[in-house]
Structure 1
């Protein structure tokens, strides 16, 4: 990142704020974050960021209404204001604590069934006026804008906020993957979080980050590592008598085995997980395990048993209000219906799934669903398939390279079959 100098004669209030901004590692700035660093209130700094933007020292973020340094350049620290290391660390910790509390608030809005691990600040102050979110759309837009900040906080962990920042990276990885899925970033988040927590975290915290890393490793094809992390969680959970994490660990192990193409041992792990999760009474967890048992049956060539499990999963997910995973269940149900020779029903389910994905703004998942929908249409509907696939390719962007490749291949195939 290049630097440029602040202009001479900058008003004192702007100079004070600017001297703090250049210390913070955050890529995206906003009044609440800056106010937390200054131990002030958002109202007190509300007009400061626009004034700095008027001077060309900041610019509005193109989509979120937040602020960032222009063209990835960061203003050089003002030479007349040498940093005080103690005060600087206080500001950093206050800013990170505010950001963490806001991320957790967004996670609760977007996925209230998540079980956030409570972290008490290990220093003398807590977050000042964290953000609140009045809708899922508000929370989703804010979280998407934080993608650069996640990496920045990890990169700055050497500045000794690791005891609090790992929770932020975990919250980010669990909320970002739906709206901006990037398995590499998720693995980076969870790898770093595991290292941070092992130095002084509780057993519950260690289990939470190992589960997150197991999922991230599975997403990038590191199936052996994913199983190892799940096995470690199971060991700790059995030692500590934590039934919920025992079920989670077996589910994570089954997920890795299924992704590796080992459907039968995966089904065994899922069956064990299901028994524990039913005993705990977590309906959503039960639904997710049944969903994957359904996929195991499909891989084993038993679509009728697959359909029965997916129907149960879909009903449970609808009851708990998880539209995202309900859409996943519908999409997989559609593929099983296609296996059973029911294309009309399959297309109807895919359309419902696409509507649900669109409703929660899970764009890459919507695009995946639309790709399936386009390739499920009867051969006579070339033009509709062409338009659907074009939309899917545009929506994938750089998020799901494998699926984008599949969509492009399907698009090319349909292009050859288009009507003159």
Structure 2
């Protein structure tokens, strides 16, 4: 087999052997034009030419077309070993690390473009690239950015794991930080938590205290969303202490908003956070805090206060052009009206929130808003409609949130 691979390798057109050697060091055996161009420092046209030549020579398998990544090629295991062996003979010792670093920078450039469009209010810092790609990604539509994140998910996780194993710690925490839209909208908790554990270790090894606080904060959000409230509270307490030590007022306000595993116990802290955000001029943060305070008011059977908070939050979020959280506020507003017995208003708000969250591309919150509408329908006496909505919500949760699926099963058993 090696003899055949050697023969094919030595007959490759000029410049293509270098691309072949680099492909052996990619995080996954599959590649595409954009990734190959970034990893090999080529233009997309040059990368396409090289991939076609390698496929013609039998060194790559032309697999299929991908709706996001375009044409996909694959190196089989023995070919990857051969490519790396050739690199060991012909390239400098830093080829493997540079190839991986270029791949991580390519993914960070795409993640940053998605982050800027999908979550423009997300806290960030300057994250310069060591190897800026020759052709950076840009997104003009939310659906396009969300599709890219979803379509690259396996590649992104492989790059994060490989980067951490190779000691490229700065690249790892920067990529995980930039991928907030993937965690926020995709909500695949197993990947969310794994990526953040690796990024936290990377930030600690890199001596980046702000990155540690931010990664810990979004790790806590993931733990809380996955239902691991005690672990989330421990993480948020740690972030709060770190933010206090660093005199990071914005960080203190944010962690107060997120650290609500036991929400009634956090009410006073949330009120302080809301005031901090008002003083900072952070309208979006104020609105997000009002949503949580509205949830607490509902838990305490104070629907009028909840309606006021959700109404204020929605108005601010619409002004801030945050469709995801504006849709969340409307879903909660519907539930608050149901608590007060205003079922027609509740049902109208619930239907509108589903439409808005569907357009925003939030998988879990589409399911959550359908579930909340089902609750309102059930409470208003529409048992059949409630059952259909609960089944629809359960289908939306399938495959990425077992705790949500189990809760829906319990709700369905309660419907006559």
Residue by residue over 1:179-217, the C-alpha shift from the partner in whole angstroms, topping out at 9 and shown as x without a partner, is 321222211121111111112333322221121222122
Is 2:70 aligned against 1:66?
Answer: yes
Structure 1 segments unaligned to the other structure (5+ residues): none
Structure 2 Cα separation of the partners of residues 51 and 409 of structure 1 = 57
Q: Call closer, same or farther: CA 1:175–1:28 in 2, change over 3 Å.
A: farther
Structure 1 Cα separation of the partners of residues 75 and 36 of structure 2 = 20
Q: Call closer, same or farther: CA 1:178–1:252 in 2, change over 3 Å.
A: closer
Q: Give the RMSD, CA atoms, in angstroms.
A: 2.8
Q: Which residue of 2 aligns with 1:342?
A: 342
Q: Call closer, same or farther: CA 1:75–1:392 in 2, change over 3 Å.
A: farther
Q: Which residue of 1 aligns with 2:289?
A: 289
User: Is contact 1:49–1:67 with CA below 8 Å preserved after alignment?
Assistant: no
Q: Which residue of 2 aligns with 1:249?
A: 255
1:385-404 superposed matches below 5 A:
385=386, 387-404=388-405
Structure 1 Cα separation of the partners of residues 103 and 407 of structure 2 = 42
Structure 2 Cα separation of the partners of residues 177 and 75 of structure 1 = 34
Structure 2 Cα separation of the partners of residues 27 and 204 of structure 1 = 34
Provide the secondary structure at the position in 2 that maps to 1:64: coil
Q: Which residue of 1 aligns with 2:106?
A: 98
Q: CA deviation at 1:373?
A: 2.2
Q: Which is worse superposed, 281-290 or 8-17? A: 8-17
Structure 1 Cα separation of the partners of residues 406 and 244 of structure 2 = 42
- Pick from 18, 24, 27: which aligns with 1:25? 27
Provide the secondary structure at the position in 1 that maps to 2:135: coil
Normalised by the length of structure 1, the TM-score is 0.85
- How many residues are matched? 401
- Pick from 193, 202, 205: which aligns with 1:199? 205
Q: Call closer, same or farther: CA 1:58–1:393 in 2, change over 3 Å.
A: farther
User: Is contact 1:144–1:179 with CA below 8 Å preserved after alignment?
Assistant: no
Q: CA deviation at 1:271?
A: 0.6
Is 2:167 aligned against 1:160?
Answer: yes
Structure 2 Cα separation of the partners of residues 395 and 175 of structure 1 = 19
Structure 2 segments unaligned to the other structure (5+ residues): none
User: Is contact 2:257–2:273 with CA below 8 Å preserved after alignment?
Assistant: yes
Q: Call closer, same or farther: CA 1:381–1:296 in 2, change over 3 Å.
A: closer
Provide the secondary structure at the position in 2 that maps to 1:59: strand
Q: CA deviation at 1:69?
A: 5.7
Residue by residue over 1:368-403, the C-alpha shift from the partner in whole angstroms, topping out at 9 and shown as x without a partner, is 222332343354572x55554444333323112222
Q: Call closer, same or farther: CA 1:380–1:212 in 2, change over 3 Å.
A: closer
Structure 2 Cα separation of the partners of residues 62 and 390 of structure 1 = 31
User: Is contact 2:397–2:405 with CA below 8 Å preserved after alignment?
Assistant: yes
Structure 2 Cα separation of the partners of residues 329 and 27 of structure 1 = 43
Q: CA deviation at 1:130?
A: 2.3
Q: Call closer, same or farther: CA 1:89–1:17 in 2, change over 3 Å.
A: same
Is 2:170 aligned against 1:171?
Answer: no
Q: Which residue of 2 aligns with 1:186?
A: 192
Structure 1 Cα separation of the partners of residues 75 and 303 of structure 2 = 53
Residue by residue over 1:131-153, the C-alpha shift from the partner in whole angstroms, topping out at 9 and shown as x without a partner, is 11122121111011122123212
Q: Call closer, same or farther: CA 1:352–1:49 in 2, change over 3 Å.
A: farther
Q: Which residue of 1 aligns with 2:363?
A: 363
User: Is contact 2:32–2:73 with CA below 8 Å preserved after alignment?
Assistant: no
Q: CA deviation at 1:110?
A: 1.0
Q: CA deviation at 1:74?
A: 8.0
Residue by residue over 1:227-253, the C-alpha shift from the partner in whole angstroms, topping out at 9 and shown as x without a partner, is 333233333333333221121122222
Q: Which residue of 2 aligns with 1:114?
A: 122
Structure 2 Cα separation of the partners of residues 72 and 268 of structure 1 = 58
